[in-house]
């Protein structure tokens, strides 16, 4: 992992650890968004996985009725343990251990969201689509953004359509009038 | 002559009932509506893996069966696709790193479009369209979003711009406009045009609210 990317990921993981431990769940979204920058530049699955995991945790912990779920303490403990292990592994440049720890974190998120029947059927996949949408917003093509998290363009497109992404930087150099004239010519319209 | 379709345009059309007017549009056009193998895999192949989009995939596959969509083989063009993709993915640099912004599926449309001397490329997603139409704006966007200086490798960009010279891009929005103008939507009111353009926008077509207003109020 690149040095700058590693710094970003460590900051995000340490921030997320503190947020979960201190109950400042509102910080998780910002931390997840912050590393989209590194995701876009370094195109590294390990960075993407952190962003997805933190976003999924935000979705779970911010849902009011799950705060009182009988398994939430056990889940939180496991999450904190995995994050601590991931931070430790990354600091020691043990990328294999870091990667395995993130997979364990994913499994716990998946398991807990199934147990609580989260309102989004698959919170992890939903988080992947959200992060892909952010990558697209940051300038990656639809195909590249979809591949980064392993979702399909079918899943990604409606998510991008619901954002304001296409309100900026969409006007083509070929103006609308020329485009319409091309369409008129192609389809023999008056 | 042909119009080459990217998966983004097919997906927008498929999720907004646009496949119903595609056969008639193709008849009016009179030449090929075409897709590449990678686009087929991204649309029909991927949709078959999930029940959520299976029906759309079957309908797209049916359009191939009816010859409304023709399959243009990528075989023999792999090197060109790789060269162009690598050039685009080595054109923009942030923090000293090349930004890998495009994917083989999108580039296959550009390369096969060039080979077929296509009249137009139908691309709904924003990044590939900006590579063709306005790479400077793409650089500005990357800079603005990544909050860092983005440099352009002029040699690579010159190769890409030369390759894309003369290419014309349309979106599902323009296809819907044509369908509306040709009376293929079944409802000829401006409201119907506005409705279909917004549906496409929500389906992921890169069109702004201002552009929709221009289409409805100026061109309709």
Judge whether A106 and A49 are in contact, CB under 8 Å: yes
Decide: helix, strand or coil at residue B119. coil
- How far apart, in whole angstroms, are the C-alpha atoms of residue B36 and residue B72? 5
Contacts of B211 (CB under 8 A, 6+ apart): A170, A171, A176, B173
DSSP 3-state percent helix, strand, coil across chain B (nearest 5): 60, 10, 25
Give the count of domains, chain A: 1
Across the interface, whether the CB atoms of A174 and B169 are under 8 A apart is answered yes
Is the model's pLDDT at A72 over the cut of 80?
A: yes
The answer for residues whose C-beta is within 8 angstroms of residue B111's C-beta and 6 or more apart is B74, B77, B80, B81, B84
pLDDT computed for residue A34 by the predictor: 87
pLDDT for residue A173 is more than 60? no
- With an 8 Å Cβ cutoff, are B127 and A156 in contact? no
In B21-50, the residues whose Cβ lies within 8 Å of chain A are 25, 28-29, 42-43, 46-47, 49-50
Domain tally for chain B? 1
Closest partner residue to B138 (CB to CB) among A139, A146, A159 is A139
pLDDT score at A113: 80
**Is the whole-model pTM more than 0.90?**
yes
Which residue of B44, B206, B207, B214 to mutate against A (max A Cβ within 10 Å)?
A: B206
pLDDT classification of A37: cutoffs 50, 70, 90? confident
Q: Where are the alpha helices (DSSP H) in B96-171?
A: 104-115, 126-133, 135-146, 154-164
Tens digit of pLDDT per residue, chain B (220 long)? 899 999 999 999 999 999 999 999 999 999 999 999 999 999 999 999 989 999 999 999 999 999 999 999 999 999 999 999 999 999 999 999 999 999 999 999 999 999 999 999 999 999 999 999 999 999 999 999 999 999 999 999 999 999 999 999 999 999 999 999 999 999 999 999 999 999 999 999 999 999 999 999 988 8
Give chain A positions within 8 Å (CB) of B127.
136, 139-142, 144
What is the average per-residue pLDDT within A14-23?
95
Residue whose tokens read 């968004």: A33
Q: Which two tokens stand for residue B157?
A: 């960009």
Q: Tell me if chain B has a CB within 8 Å of the CB of A150.
A: no
Is residue A111 very low, low, confident or very high in pLDDT (cuts 50, 70, 90)? confident
Q: What is the CATH number of the domain that holds B133?
A: 3.40.50.1010
A42 near B CB under 8 A: yes
Q: Which token pair is A47?
A: 């960075």
ipTM over cut 0.90? yes
Average pLDDT, chain A: 89
Task: Identify the residue among A35, A47, A170, A171 best suited for mutation to test binding to B, counting B beta carbons within 10 A and taking the highest.
Answer: A170
Select from B15, B57, B145, B215 the residue whose CB has the most chain A CBs within 10 Å, as the one to mutate to test that interface.
Answer: B145
Among chain A residues, CA nearest to B94: A41
Rounded to whole angstroms, how far apart are CA atoms B1 and B119? 6
What is the DSSP code string of B22-82? Answer: HHHHHHHH-SEEEEEHHHHIIIIIHHTT-HHHHHHHHHHHHHHHTTSEEEEP-TT-HHHHH
Domain that holds residue B95: 2-219
Q: Which helix (H) or strand (E) holds B94?
A: strand B92-94
Instruction: Give the model confidence (pLDDT) of A120-138 as tens digits.
Output: 568 889 999 999 999 999 9
Identify the domain containing residue A118 by its residue range: 3-186
Of B124, B209, B218, the CB nearest to A167: B209
């Amino acid at each position: 992992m690149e040095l700058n990317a590693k710094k970003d990921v460590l900051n995000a993981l340490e921030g997320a650890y503190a947020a979960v431990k201190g109950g400042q769940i509102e910080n998780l979204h910002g931390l997840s968004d912050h590393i989209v920058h590194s995701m876009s530049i370094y195109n590294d699955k390990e960075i993407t996985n952190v962003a997805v995991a933190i976003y999924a945790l935000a979705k779970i912990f911010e849902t009011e009725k799950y705060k009182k779920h009988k398994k939430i303490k056990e889940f939180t403990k496991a999450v904190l343990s995995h994050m601590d292990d991931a931070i430790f592994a990354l600091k020691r440049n043990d990328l294999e251990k870091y990667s395995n720890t993130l997979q364990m974190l994913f499994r716990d998120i998946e398991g807990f969201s199934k147990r609580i029947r989260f309102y989004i059927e698959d919170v992890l996949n939903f988080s992947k689509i959200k992060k892909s949408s952010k990558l697209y917003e940051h300038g990656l093509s639809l195909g590249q953004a979809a591949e980064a998290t392993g979702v399909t363009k079918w899943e990604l497109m409606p998510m991008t359509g619901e954002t304001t992404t296409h309100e900026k930087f969409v006007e083509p150099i070929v103006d609308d009038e020329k485009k319409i004239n091309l369409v008129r010519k192609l389809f023999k319209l008056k | 002559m042909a119009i080459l379709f990217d998966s983004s345009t097919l997906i927008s059309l498929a999720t907004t009932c646009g496949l119903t007017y595609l056969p008639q549009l193709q008849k009016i056009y009179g030449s090929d509506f075409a897709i590449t193998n990678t686009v087929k895999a991204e649309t029909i192949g991927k949709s078959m893996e999930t029940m959520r989009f299976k029906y759309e995939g079957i309908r797209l596959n049916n359009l191939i069966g009816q010859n409304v969509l023709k399959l243009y083989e990528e075989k023999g063009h792999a090197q060109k696709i790789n060269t162009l993709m690598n050039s685009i993915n080595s054109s923009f640099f942030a923090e000293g790193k090349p930004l890998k912004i495009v994917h083989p599926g999108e580039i296959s449309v550009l390369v096969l479009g060039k080979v077929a001397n296509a009249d137009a490329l139908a691309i709904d997603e924003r990044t590939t369209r900006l590579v063709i139409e306005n790479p400077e704006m793409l650089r500005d966007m990357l800079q603005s979003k990544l909050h860092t200086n983005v440099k352009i490798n002029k040699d690579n960009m010159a190769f890409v711009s030369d390759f894309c010279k003369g290419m014309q891009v349309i979106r599902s929005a323009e296809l819907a406009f044509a369908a509306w103008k040709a009376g293929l939507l079944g409802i000829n009111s401006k409201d119907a045009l506005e409705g279909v353009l917004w549906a496409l926008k929500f389906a992921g077509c890169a069109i702004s609210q201002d552009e929709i207003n221009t289409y409805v109020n100026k061109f309709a």
